[in-house]
Amino acid sequence: NKKLRKNLIIPKDYVIKNDNITLISANFIINRFGKIDSLVIFSQNLDEKYNSYFEHHMKESILNTKWKPIQLYGINLNTKESFTTFL
C-alpha cells in the first residue's frame, strides 16, 4: 500500500546496513467491516534500538488507515493482506 510506505518515517540517525537484508513486514486481515484483525508485525535484521520504533509505527499506520473491504457481487469479504518494506 503506497499510503503505508509514504507514512513510514525513518529516523535521521538510522543507519542503513548494506551487509544484511533489513525489513519490516506486517500480515493482517481486513474484515468485511473494514476493520483490522490478526495483525502480526515482524522485522528481520533490524537494529534493536529501532525495532520497537518501526514496529510501533507500522502498527499505528495500519490501524489508523481507513480500509475498504473487498467486495464480490456486492458482498463484503474478509481479505488477507501483507505489507513489507526493505530498509
Give just the sign of the alpha carbon dihedral 17, 54, 86, 8: negative
Q: Which residue, 54, 59, 61, is CA-closest to 86?
A: 54
Radius of gyration of the chain from its Cα atoms, rounded to whole angstroms: 15
In the prediction, which pLDDT does 69 show? 94
pLDDT tens, residue by residue, 16-47:
776 778 889 999 999 999 999 999 999 988 88
pLDDT tens, residue by residue, 51-64:
889 999 899 999 99
What is the enclosing helix (H) or strand (E) of 77? strand 75-77
In the prediction, which pLDDT does 16 show? 73
CA–CA distance, 86 with 68 (Å, rounded to integer):
25
Give the pLDDT band (50/70/90) at residue 85.
confident
